[in-house]
C-alpha cells in the first residue's frame, strides 16, 4: 500500500502575502502526522497546495517517490484524498450520493459496495441517514460524511482539514477515535490539520507546529504535548 508523503521547500503566495514559507515535512507510510498552529499559520494552505488547489510558487510534493504535479486531480491520481475544512457537502444530494461522489475520484481496486459498507461500519449514523439530504445533517454528522467521502477514494494518504471545527466535544471524541481506528485498520497515512492541538497530538506519531507559514517546532506527538512552549500557546496550560 505504502503512502509516503514528502513536501520539500513549499512556498505559496496570495498576492504579496507569503502564506507558506519554505516549508518541508514528511509522513511515513501508516503514520498519523499532525500540523498544528493558530489561524493563518498556513496549515490549510499547505493541504490545498498538496492537492493542487492553489498555486505553488516553489517546492515539490512526492508520494511514494513520485512527483505530484501542482494541478487539481494530480494528487488524487497518486492516492491522496482530502476531507476539506467546512465539510462542503452537496446539500441537496443524499448522504449516500455524497459518499459515492468520493468513489468516482479514487484509484482503489476494491469494489465500491465493499468500501461503502466499511465506511458505514465506521460511521453507523451515516447508514441510518443514508437516504436523507446531506444538508439536513448536524455539523458532526456532516463531518463524518466528509471523512467517509474521502475514504471512498481508497486513498493511501488521507488528509483531514480541521475535522473538529464547530463540533460538540463529545462528537470530537468520537471522530478522534474513528480516525485512530481507520489508521490502525487500513494502514492509511493520515495528515491531520487541527486547531485542537490536544486531540491532534494525542493521535499523532509525529507533529509539526506552524507559525506564519513556517515550521517552528517538530517532534513526536508526546514530545510536543510535553513541550512548555506548545502547552502555553496551544493547550492553555
- Give me the domains of the chain, ranges plus CATH numbers: 5-235 (3.40.50.300)
3-state secondary structure of 120: helix
For residue 108, what pLDDT is reported?
Answer: 64
| Whether 181 contacts 163, CB under 8 Å | no
For residue 106, what pLDDT is reported?
Answer: 56
Cell of 222: 508526546
CA pseudo-torsion sign 204, 208, 210, 216: positive
Closest to 78 (Cα-Cα) out of 45, 46, 52: 52
Measure Cα distances from 94 to 14, 47, 130, 133, 144 in Å: 35, 27, 6, 4, 14
For residue 73, what pLDDT is reported?
Answer: 87
Residue 205: other Cβ atoms inside 10 A: 16
For residue 105, what pLDDT is reported?
Answer: 61
Measure Cα distances from 35 to 92, 208, 221 in Å: 32, 5, 11
* Local confidence pLDDT in tens for the 237 residues of the chain: 799 999 999 999 999 999 999 999 999 999 999 999 998 999 999 999 999 999 999 999 999 999 999 888 899 999 999 999 877 888 889 999 999 998 876 566 788 899 999 999 999 999 999 999 999 999 899 999 999 999 999 999 999 999 998 888 888 999 999 999 999 999 999 999 998 999 999 999 999 999 999 999 999 999 999 999 999 998 876
For residue 98, what pLDDT is reported?
Answer: 93
Rg over CA atoms, the chain: 17
Amino acid at each position: 500500500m505504502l503512502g509516503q508523503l514528502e513536501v520539500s521547500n513549499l512556498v505559496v503566495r496570495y498576492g504579496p502575502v507569503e502564506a507558506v514559507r519554505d516549508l518541508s515535512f514528511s509522513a511515513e507510510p501508516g503514520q498519523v502526522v499532525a500540523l498544528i498552529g493558530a489561524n493563518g499559520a498556513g496549515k490549510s494552505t499547505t493541504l490545498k497546495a498538496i492537492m493542487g488547489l492553489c498555486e505553488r510558487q516553489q517546492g515539490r510534493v512526492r508520494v511514494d517517490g513520485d512527483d505530484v504535479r501542482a494541478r487539481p486531480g494530480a494528487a488524487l491520481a497518486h492516492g491522496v484524498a482530502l476531507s476539506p475544512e467546512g465539510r462542503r457537502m452537496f446539500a441537496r444530494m443524499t448522504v449516500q450520493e455524497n459518499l459515492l461522489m468520493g468513489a468516482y475520484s479514487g484509484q482503489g481496486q476494491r469494489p465500491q459496495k465493499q468500501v461503502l459498507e466499511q465506511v458505514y461500519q465506521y460511521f453507523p449514523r451515516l447508514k441510518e441517514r443514508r437516504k436523507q439530504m446531506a444538508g439536513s445533517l448536524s455539523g458532526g454528522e456532516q463531518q463524518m460524511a466528509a471523512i467517509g467521502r474521502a475514504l471512498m477514494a481508497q486513498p493511501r494518504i488521507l488528509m483531514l482539514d480541521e475535522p473538529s471545527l464547530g463540533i460538540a466535544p463529545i462528537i470530537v471524541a468520537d471522530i478522534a477515535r474513528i480516525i485512530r481506528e481507520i489508521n490502525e485498520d487500513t494502514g492509511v497515512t493520515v495528515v491531520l490539520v487541527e486547531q485542537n492541538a490536544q486531540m491532534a497530538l494525542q493521535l499523532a506519531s509525529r507533529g509539526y507546529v506552524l507559525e506564519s507559514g513556517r515550521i517552528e517546532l517538530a517532534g513526536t506527538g508526546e514530545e510536543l504535548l510535553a513541550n512548555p512552549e506548545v502547552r502555553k500557546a496551544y493547550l492553555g496550560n
